[in-house]
Amino acid sequence: MGGFLLFAAALILAATGAGLVALRRASSPVDGMMGVQLLGSGSVAVLILLSVALAQDALVDAALTVAVLAAFAVAALHAARRPRRAASPPEAEGP
């Protein structure tokens, strides 16, 4: 069973790498966010499979940490991509 899980982890890692290479060719900011999300979800899947295959519970904690960091990274990229509104000058008070 452990060998099958290690093989599945290697396949997911290869698929994630191939997806990142394909996303690297695209240059839009949305593609960058998708790349971060792909890297995060692929990493979580590999870490969970390795955790079960190697009987290392600490890898589950690492997977959860990567999932949270990937979500924050996508939120940060989205916030950096939005145009900022210019502050309007205060209106002059009438008499």
Distance CA 84, CA 79 (A): 9
- pLDDT for 34 equals 83
- Would you state the pLDDT for residue 77? 79
Q: What is the pTM of this model?
A: 0.76
Q: What pLDDT is stored for residue 84 in this prediction? A: 66
Amino acid at 5: L
Strands (E), 44-92: none
Report whether pLDDT(95) > 70: no
pLDDT per residue as tens digits for the range 29-83: 777 788 888 888 999 999 999 999 999 999 999 999 999 998 898 888 778 777 6
Segments of 1-95 assigned E as strands:
none
How far apart CA 50 and CA 32 sit, in angstroms, is 27
> Residue 53's pLDDT is what?
92
Tokens of 92: 């002059």
